[in-house]
Structures are given as structure tokens and as C-alpha cells.
Structure 1
């Protein structure tokens, strides 16, 4: 069937070019190869399409009827190739992005210029802290933070975010302000699980490792921030996530000379090759925006 399609396309080119030799030049093959392929097409279907002489060709009645359909087939194939080119070069269609709840706030300002510049591009943002399956959810691009589990998905590191200790002023007024990492053991904590392992690096390169048990827990980063603002304890937070709270004074840094390990931010896609333009442009736009966020670190 594939060879038949090629011969039909070749026949359309011969009719359009007006001769076997002109068609051969356009296709970059020999005139004898064109003649041979047309003969195979005629023999396979038991119909004469062309009357050939040494100087010219004459299209038979059956050939004339077929030529219109063959040209329509070629035109449709050209339009299909144009769509592939557009998908490769111009952002369009629905862009499905998955992001954690705390991270979704960065998606709108990052992609607003891209959406404004490309009216044919639409956005569907799926916000969920759960690690959804990209293929099942038909996700084009997922934004992830932290250590990634092994998978067949493709991850590209966009940047890293600074991690800092913080607390509400009311909590520190009640419980006291830690002066050294060892003081943290006497405080209440907010975290994502039963045990929180802290690895803090000082300005001189000193590293302190502590294990604390949170009093308040959540698997949602936004909820952790709200619990911290409510004065329920200390937390180790992504600076970009709590920047507004720091500026307003609802949270303040604790032990500002100590930092947790930077948390990497990833763009994750289902496959490596053949990424459509909407995915490539979106990932680049998000990366550019993230590097302007307070606490972002270029990797």
C-alpha cells in the first residue's frame, strides 16, 4: 500500500509537470525510474493512464479522472506536513501542565506573555500535590520539585530554590528565638511527615544534622505555610513560597546564617524527542521566570 501511494503521488507530479523528464527533475530521480514506476502502477490496476511518445505524454480519460484525486491526496499530505511544522515551530493547541499547589502560583505570570503572543495556544493547569501519571492525564509538561523517583519520564533541571527556616513572630515571642542549630530541638515543628531530617549549612561551611518530630503535619505545602503563619511552630520552607509572608512580616527568618539544601525544580515530560513547540516554549518561559523569583539559584 505504501508503494502504491508513492506511485500515485508520482503520477500526480507527472501530470502536473507535463512530461516524464520534468517530473524526474523535480523529484530528483531518473526518467527511466519514473517510467518504470508508472508502468508498475498501470499493470497493478490493469488500466492505461498515459500514452507516451518520445516527445510528450497524453493523459488518458481514466488517467485524467485519477489525476484529480491524486493531486488532492498530495495536497492533503502537504497540509498535514504543514501542521507538523506548525506543531514543531509555533505554539498552538491545548497545553496541559501539572504543578504542585504551592508552585502553581508561578505558572500564570510565567506563561502570560506566551499566551498573549500566541492566540492559538490554550492552557489547562492541573494543580495537585500528588504525583499523577503524565500519560494517563495527557500532561504535556509537569513541574516538580525535590528528588524525583526513577521513571521513564524525561526531567530537565530548571533551577534550584533556596530553603530557609522561618516562624511567625507570635510563636517566637512565646517560645523564644533559637540562637544556634542545637536550640531547634527544643521547638515545635511543622512538616510533611512523622519525622523531619534537617541538614543545615552555615556560612563557614559547617553542616548540622538534626532530627525533629513535627507537631503539625500536612502533605500540602500551602497548608504548611498557613500552619506556620498561625504560630504553630518552625518550618523549613522554600523562600520563593514564603516571600510574601516574609515581606509582610507574618513570617520571619530563623537562624538566617543557616540554610537547608537547595531544592531542585524540574520540567518533566513524557518523552525526550519530538517535543511540540508549545512544550518547548512553555518550559523556556517558565525557566526564565523562575530565575527572577527571590531565592532562585542558577544550576
Structure 2
């Protein structure tokens, strides 16, 4: 590293034409600059500069060496500029992980304005309902549902989405009217694999009455789109984030059950690996997602 520093000092001396001029640029004293050049010549065992009382000139070896030093200095300046761009402007590849339900268009709406405004930014999306290792997969940020307990990550609350219990009209026609939560115990439940919190539901009635139910899963899927597909086909009931099924509810393809009984909302979080400072691309993406997704709640 000391050798690289001396090469940079040497290149600056040549470009400025004097030790004094280089010292002003580098924030060093002229004697310190001279000492760095002398050590460089001692290490290389080559004379790099002709010194007179009036000016400095390059030796033949110095002229050849200067070209390499100038290239090193230019690369260092480019690297520094690149870091500044990454810090101050959203550029480079942005890698985002999200639940499968977000693949239907919600992220497109939230992130399209960001991509349009910053042509130097590219995007890679990874959709999983299972949680993946953000560091191992080089994920810049992830959208996750439910309480976040991983202390190796930084979680930012994004929104609380209403949870809606729903089924297809055909299933309701077979089951008959559903007026009380305890009726659900005799019905077919469709849920995500491993989502125990969805098997244990707490309903709060209009008068504050609470009903806690443990529902046995008949159909389990590893992503929410599979759960939704079985629900739409009339195979049973499922719990869905309301913003993700808003169109199906409006069209009547899905029916909301027990609307007078409230369920805990679905917490939505943006999580990032722990870092001292977030790149601009991540900061801008967080704001875009906060603006785009929180409105759907």
C-alpha cells in the first residue's frame, strides 16, 4: 500500500511540475513529498527525476514509470468516483427478494417509476415464500410478512394489510352460510406450508368477543399463489392479504367471510442486511416501496 501511495505522489509531482505544487494538491509539506520520491527511487533503485534549482525533469526510466503511475492514479480516481455514485445516486444492480404474491404486479407499480427516473439502475427480483439468506444470495433488501426476529437483519415496518378470510362462491354454496368462527372447524382449510400462525386464528367480534381457533390444514402449498388457486377453484377457505385479492373480491370470484369479525392485520416489513451505510440504490428503493405498497393497505 505504501508503494501505491508513493506512485500516486510521484504522478502528482510530474503533473504539477514541482514538489511544492504536488504538496499543495496532496495536503502535504514539500519536504514530505520529496521524502516519498526519494524512498520510491531507493526501492526501485532507479533515478526517476533530474533535479535542478529551477525545475524537475523526468529521466528516461521516470517517463516510462510515470505512464504506469498515471494509470494507477486514474483507476483510483475512477474507483472513488464510482463509490460516490453508488453512495449518492441509484446505480448498479438492485437485488430484491419478495413473497410470491408480489409477483402479480405490485412491485412493478412500485418500482417502475424508480427505474424510469434512473437509467443507470438495473433490477433482479427473486420471489420466494420461504425465507432465504440475504447475505449468501447477495440480496440488497427483502419484503417479508409477519414479525421479524432475525437480529442479523434490520427490519423497517412498511404497512399493516388487512387479512381477509375468503372462499369461492361454489364452496360457500356447498358449505352453507357461515355466521360464527367456530363453524370453520368443520370446513376445509387451505394454507401455506409451515405457517402455524395461520392455523391458529384469533377472531374479534363487533362486541369485543374473542374466538381462538386451531384449524387443521387440508391443503398446504409452498406459496400464496397456490393457496389462492385452490381457494378460487372452490376447494376450501384461506386467509389472504386483502390488497392481493382486492380484484377477486370486487368481481365476486372470492367472497369475504365473517366480515363483522376482525382478524389481526398482516404486518409487512422491509429488511436489509446490517450495514453501516446503505447504498443509494437501496435507500431509493425503500422509499419507492414505502410509497407504492403502503397505499394498498
Give the shorter-chain TM-score range: 0.7 to 0.9
CA distance in 1, matches of 2:209, 2:5: 70
Match of 1:150 in 2: 150
- Residues 162 and 241 of structure 2 are in contact (CA less than 8 Å); yes or no, is this contact kept in structure 1? yes
Q: Distance in 1 between matches of 2:276 and 2:210?
A: 41
SS at match of 1:178: coil
Cα RMSD, aligned residues only = 2.4
Report deviation, 1:248.
0.5
271, 284, 289: which is aligned to 1:286?
289
Q: What residue in structure 1 maps to residue 2 of structure 2?
A: 3
Q: Which residue of 1 aligns with 2:240?
A: 237
Quote the residue 1:92 is aligned against. 91
Cα deviation code 1:169-188 (max 9, x no counterpart): 33333323332333433433
Change (3 A) 1:65 1:178: same
Q: Which moved more, 1:213-222 or 1:68-77?
A: 213-222
Measure how far apart 1:222 and its partner are.
1.3
Give unmatched runs, 5+ long, in structure 1.
none
Displacement of 1:151 after TM fit?
5.8
Partner secondary structure for residue 284 of structure 2? helix
- State the shift of 1:204 in Å: 5.2
Is the Cα–Cα contact under 8 Å of residues 95 and 278 in structure 1 kept in the other structure? yes
Partner residue, 2:219? 216
| Counterpart-to-counterpart distance in 1, 2:118 and 2:43 | 48
Deviations 1:104-143 (A, max 9, x none): 2222221111222233333232223232333443333322
- 2:31 matches 1:28: no
Bigger shift: 199-208 or 239-248?
199-208
| 2:242 equivalent to 1:228 | no
| Structure 1 stretch displaced more, 252-261 or 89-98 | 89-98
Tell me the SS of whatever aligns to 2:13.
Answer: helix
1:107 corresponding residue in structure 2: 107
Tell which deviates more after alignment, 45-54 or 155-164.
45-54
Aligned to 1:65: 64
Alpha-carbon distance, 1:28 to partner: 1.3
**Structure 1, residues 7-33: CA drift from partner, whole Å, max 9, x if none?**
111111111112211211111121111
Comparing 204-213 and 26-35, the one that deviates more: 204-213
TM-score (norm 2): 0.87
Equivalent residue, structure 1, for 2:185? 185
1:230-281, Cα deviation, whole Å (9 max, x unpaired): 2233322211121111110111222212222222222233442343333332
TM-superposed CA distance for 1:282, in Å, is: 2.2
C-alpha displacement of 1:65: 2.6
Q: State the aligned residue count.
A: 293
Question: If the length of structure 1 is used for normalisation, what is the TM-score?
Answer: 0.87
Residue 199 of structure 1, CA deviation: 1.3
The CA deviation at 1:161 is 1.5
